[in-house]
Amino acid sequence: MPRDPRHDILFEPVRIGPKTLRNRFYAVPHCTGFGSEKPASQARFRATKAEGGWAAVCTEEALVSVDSDFWPIFSTRIWDDDDLTNLAVMCDEAHAHGSLAGIELAHGGAHARSRDARVPAVAPSQLTSDYDPFVTPKAMQLEDIRRVQSDWVAAARRSRDAGFDIVYVYGGHSYLPLQFLSPFYNRRSDAYGGSLESRARFWLETLELVREAIGDDCAIAVRLCIEALGPAGVELEEGLGFVGLADHLVDLWDVNVGSIIEWSKDSGTSRFFSEGYQLEWTGRVREVTAKPIVGVGRLTNPDRMAEIIASGAWDLIGAARPSIADPFLPKKIEEGRYGEIRECIGCNICAAGAEYGNQIRCTQNATAGEEFRRGWNPERFEPASNSDRDVLVIGAGPAGMECAIVLGKRGMRRVHLIEAEPEIGGLMRWVPRLPGLGEWGRVLNWRAVQLQKLRNVEVITGTRLDAAAVHQYGAEIVVVATGARWAGDGLNFLTHDPIPGADTSLPHVLTPEQIMLEGKVPPGERVVIFDADGYFVAPGLAEKLVGDGFQVELVTCHDLVSPLSDETLEGPLLRQHLHAAGIGMRTGCLITDIQPGNLKAKDHLGEFFELEADSVVLVTQRLSNERLFLELREDEEALRAEGIEAVYRIGDCVAPRLIAEAVFEGHRLGREIDADDPALPLPYKRERLVLERVTT
Ligand code: ADP
Ligand code: SF4
């Protein structure tokens, strides 16, 4: 299908200072967990987006000074020539695909823990960091200001020498330049505090110095949270005021909303923020500048993108998450391959990984972060050396679907994906029906479309296979992807035992699947949801049941409701949302006994108490559906006699994990089905810290 002419506007080149972007797709800076420690992964990750058509690809924050150190979170650094050499690899790889490379030069100011460097943080004023309340910075003296500015210039020169085309003077999410700009951080009474012009001075001077040093060679970009949506930054009017003051020094305005503690409002999840939501604020920047503007807002819909450009609000469509979920998004739009776009679901597992010191991972894109060390390209699949085999994949959840797709793309003779239920999807048949999680349905929808397209893959639903049926099936390779189920007896991490009275054959005790798939309705009006899982299921069920008219109390043995949602940046918003919906919440409590109409519980201080409830929903832990796999592996001789060469298992039936991990494991087995022993984790390529340049 050719591209819709309405989308032609997205493929116009855009000039930014001395450089030209080949189209209007711009992969903005975002964390990966690679930083400078894993330069080859950093390079290949960004280069894959360049290959997929993004006109620019950027690093995450690249720290300019030793007193800006977020260790153990991996950031890019540009302190010395070794850093330059490492980062040059990324520039070379991006250039090889026709993209510009950008570096987000940054200084964390008050928020930098400096656990590595062991030097004090520095900030406009001595106010304890709102991001890390264990950091109280030194109030910067004039010599500190001059030193950081000269670090910035040195880093800018190194960036140019490494090959970067776009160099940021990043203030973004309440980093140092924005700390100077914001009265929340800046209480100075000298030339750098007070009026907007004075608070802007540090940023303006730094911009001037950087422009003087490299402005003829590189485009100078500013990333700015134009509206903090909270105290830690500036409100829209001052944000626009700063754009007016700095406009003559800037080639590209990269604008967003939020701050370091309100990052949840910049990297907004689909539960709370719809596609393009940032335009409400960033759409106003055009009023004060004619320079190119890039904005973000989890945009994956090309019609919407074209409208935004045509409206004049922005010149470039920026993306972090949509470019992680599908690095080939621009190419797919360019070639009219709309049905192949793998849309971001807005779950923020990517952010959770990078922010917590893990390397990046993505629910939708199993190859994210594996481009170098495993050599995976999201669009390239080598024919399998055992492609003359038939594969039987049992269970069409995220793991089974993904595995079948990869096996199909690798040209296996026949792949049969067998599902016991009438519909494919596994847990994705019900998770997207939890309030606010509709976009998560894209995990299933994208895979359903791909499965349909693959001629060598057949999907058979409504068929439950047992060991005997597998033996008779006639496939040489068997993949068990039978998933997991919620424990019905209250088994939990605190006691490693069932809860007395927990029996889901009784009407007043329920599991998530019984409610979401089997239509079991809690008797009575008062429902307690007991959560030991700590992620999205208990809050989702609470909201659903309140919507159904029940009086709901969420009791959790964690110190906070849904602590894992803090990693995905949703925690505070989620708890406020549940409270506003009228859901009662108790933390640090264990339910010790369940009787009809009455629950016994213990709080975190060891005090026992009783709760009146007509029914209880148990969200305690999941258990793998591993029986079929274990039965098959019991009799290896019989397997061989039937011509079955290998039986593998993937996903939650190995151990219940995040959806992202089930997808990843399905993908991995598909990629490694012809490895010596795909059941064993293959060693992946290690990084060398200082790499040689590929080209000069
Ligand atoms: P994962 O996240 O690992 O993919 P899910 O629980 O989402 O796991 O999906 C597992 C799927 O496997 C479910 O749709 C389930 O109905 C299916 N399934 C489980 N046992 C069998 C079986 N014996 N035969 C066919 N399908 C099965
Ligand atoms: Fe989108 Fe989730 Fe992937 Fe992040 S992890 S890019 S939010 S699908």
Q: How many angstroms is it from 504 CA to the middle of ligand 2?
A: 34
**Average pLDDT along the chain, 696 residues, taken 10 residues at a time:** 94 98 98 89 96 98 91 85 89 98 97 89 97 95 98 97 97 94 98 98 98 98 95 95 98 95 89 95 97 97 98 98 98 97 97 79 97 95 97 98 98 98 98 98 98 98 97 95 98 98 97 98 97 98 98 98 95 97 98 96 96 97 97 89 93 97 97 83 63 46
Residue nearest ligand 1's atom 24 by CA: 464
Q: What is the rounded CA–CA span in Å between residue 268 and residue 570?
A: 8
Look up the pTM and report it: 0.96
- Would you give the distance in Å from CA 416 to the centre of its chain? 31
437 lines ligand 2 (CB under 6 A): no
Please give the pLDDT value at position 676. 78
Residue 634: its H or E element: helix 627-634
Pocket lining: 628 vs ligand 2, CB cutoff 6 Å: no
Nearest 5°: phi and psi at 49? -65, -40
Whether the CA torsion 209, 212, 215, 217 is positive or negative: it is negative
Distance 633 CA to ligand 2 centre (A): 35
* Gap from CA of 567 to ligand 2 centroid (Å): 13
Q: What is the pLDDT of residue 80?
A: 86
Backbone CA torsion sign across 663, 667, 672, 673: positive
| Pairwise CA distance, residues 649 & 186, whole Å | 56
Q: Which atom of ligand 1 is nearest to the CA of 427?
A: 7
345 pocket-lining for ligand 2 (C-beta < 6 Å)? yes
- Provide the 8-state DSSP code for 6: G
Q: Give the amino acid at 289.
A: T
Q: Measured in Å, how far apart are the chain's first and last C-alpha atoms?
A: 39
- Strand, coil or helix: what is 675? coil
175 is catalytic: yes
DSSP assigned state of 182: -
Counting ligand 2 atoms within 8 A of each CB, the residue from 272, 324, 659 with the most, and so the one to mutate, is: 324
* CA 148 remoteness from chain centre: 31
**Of residues 26, 175, 185, 192, which has the active-site annotation?**
175
Confirm or reject: Cβ of 421 under 6 Å from ligand 1: yes
Residues 621-631: tens digit of each pLDDT: 999 999 999 99
| The predicted structure's pLDDT at residue 691 | 55
The residue whose C-alpha atom lies closest to atom 8 belonging to ligand 1 is 483
| Mutation test residue for ligand 2: of 45, 296, 321, the one with most atoms within 8 Å of CB | 321
Residue 75: per-residue pLDDT: 85
Indicate the helix (H) or strand (E) that contains 646: strand 646-649
For residue range 304-316, what is the model confidence (pLDDT) as tens digits?
Answer: 999 999 999 999 9
Ligand 1 centre distance from Cα of residue 463 (Å): 11
CA distance 493 to 532: 7
Pairing state between β 56-63 and 25-27: parallel
Provide the 10 A C-beta neighbour count for residue 430. Answer: 17
Residue with tokens 């993004």: 54
Asked if 430 and 516 count as a contact pair (C-beta separation under 8 A), the reply is yes
The residue whose CA is least distant from atom 13 of ligand 1 is: 426
Q: What is the residue with the minimal CA distance to atom 3 of ligand 2?
A: 362
Q: Going by CA atoms, what residue is nearest to atom 5 of ligand 2?
A: 362
Beta bridge partners of 373: none
| pLDDT at residue number 584 | 98
Please give the pLDDT value at position 689.
Answer: 57
